[in-house]
Amino acid sequence: MTRFRLACCLCLYLLLICPSVGFAELSENTATAPSVQLQQENASLQRQVKRLETQVSALRDELNEPDSSQVFAGIGYIVGIFGVAAWVAARKKNGQGN
Amino acid sequence: MHISDGVLPISIAIGCGVASLAVAAWSAKQTASEDLPKVAVVTASFFVSSLIHVPLGPTSVHLLIPGLVGVLLGRSAFLSIIIGVLLQSLLFSFGGLTALGANALMMGVPALLCGLLFNRLRGTTHKQNLLIGALAGGGGTLLAASILALLLVSGGEDFVGVMKLALLSHLPVFVVEALVSGFTVSFLFRVKPELLEQRLGALSQG
């Protein structure tokens, strides 16, 4: 009875421990290979993200740059403002002359 | 060289706004109606010149030409500059609307002083005009940078540090401005000297 019990315990022990030991060994073996791979992938991803970030910031700078339509709008405003001012001034002068 | 929204304390921003409006009204009153087309053309040049970027290492700076505006317009310069700065802030989002007065003062006061200086010195030869133009251009930008530093100090920054940064970062601008203004003034002196005449005689009468 005790011997049977001992055998059972041993079996149980083996069942429980061995696989875990095996897995542990397995995972250790396989973990080293993918971790190198993962690190490489990580590094390349980081590089790509950095490149994208610089592109985004360049794009943002470009978006902040005023385009030609705004430049012409501003020149139009200036001509308009001074045109109105000149018109008013001319009216005043003519009124005084008359 | 523009001050953005929320950099200056509100009291300073409002004070600058009121002061710039007052100076602009004075400047408009001093402007002869015959001069309006000239003021318009110089305003348009001032407005557009801020788009001319000078690459400088990792960053780039742009032309300001307050000195040149002052030389060409004299007392009308402030009117020209406040309109230019207003449109730049509306269309290019250079500087904020609440800081408009501060920005106008920063560019306009040097312009007025440069106009005064140019009128006092008034060169008679080609070379003299080149030198005086360069002096006005470089000096105007230098003054604008100093006013910028002074205004930023009111926002609670350390004066010496801000001044150093403002002057150092604009060092190439001073050189470029001096070159551009010098050559422009000497060129105008050669081809159209009447453009450099500020109508001071007419103004003192009115």
DSSP string, B40-94: HHHHHHHHHHTT-EEEETTEEEE---HHHHHHHHGGGHHHHHHHHHHHHHHHS--
By the CB < 8 Å criterion, does A89 face chain B? Answer: yes
> Is the complex ipTM more than 0.85?
no
By the CB < 8 Å criterion, does B62 face chain A? Answer: no
Q: Of the ranges B23-32, B40-49, B144-153, which one carries the lowest mean pLDDT score?
A: B144-153
Interface contact flag, B83 A78, Cβ < 8 Å? yes
By the CB < 8 Å criterion, does A84 face chain B? Answer: no
Residue B135, pLDDT > 70, answer yes
Higher pLDDT, B74 or A27: B74
CATH of residue B189: 1.10.1760.20
Mutate to test the interface with B, among A57, A63, A77, A78 (most CBs of B within 10 A): A78
Query: Cα(B40)–Cα(B83) distance, rounded to whole angstroms?
Result: 10
Interface contact flag, B87 A79, Cβ < 8 Å? no
By the CB < 8 Å criterion, does B47 face chain A? Answer: yes
pLDDT at B14 (0 to 100): 92
The band of A65, judged by pLDDT with boundaries at 50, 70 and 90, is confident
By the CB < 8 Å criterion, does B51 face chain A? Answer: yes
Mutate to test the interface with A, among B33, B34, B88 (most CBs of A within 10 A): B33
Cα end-to-end distance, chain B, whole Å: 35
Across chain B, mean pLDDT equals: 84
pLDDT at B153 (0 to 100): 82
The domain in which residue B86 lies consists of: 10-198
What does DSSP assign to residue B195?
A: G
Contact B92, B53 (CB under 8 A): no
By the CB < 8 Å criterion, does B45 face chain A? Answer: no
Chains A–B, number of C-beta pairs less than 8 Å apart: 48
Domain presence at residue B2? no
Q: What is the pLDDT of residues B51-71, one digit of tens each?
A: 877 766 555 667 888 899 999
Tell me what the mean pLDDT of segment B147-166 comes to.
Answer: 78
Residue B104, pLDDT > 90, answer yes
- Given phi > 0 = left and psi -120 to 50 = alpha, else beta, which region is B65? left
- A86 to chain B, closest Cα gap in Å: 6
By the CB < 8 Å criterion, does B40 face chain A? Answer: yes
Domain presence at residue B1? no
pLDDT at B151 (0 to 100): 85
The band of B204, judged by pLDDT with boundaries at 50, 70 and 90, is very low
Interface contact flag, B33 A93, Cβ < 8 Å? yes
By the CB < 8 Å criterion, does B83 face chain A? Answer: yes
- What are the backbone dihedrals phi and psi of residue B27, each rounded to the nearest 5 degrees, phi first? -65, -40
Question: Which residue's entry shows tokens 């002061």?
Answer: B19
Interface contact flag, A74 B87, Cβ < 8 Å? yes
Split into its structural domains, chain B has a count of 1
All residues of chain B having their beta carbon less than 8 Å from the beta carbon of residue A64 are 93
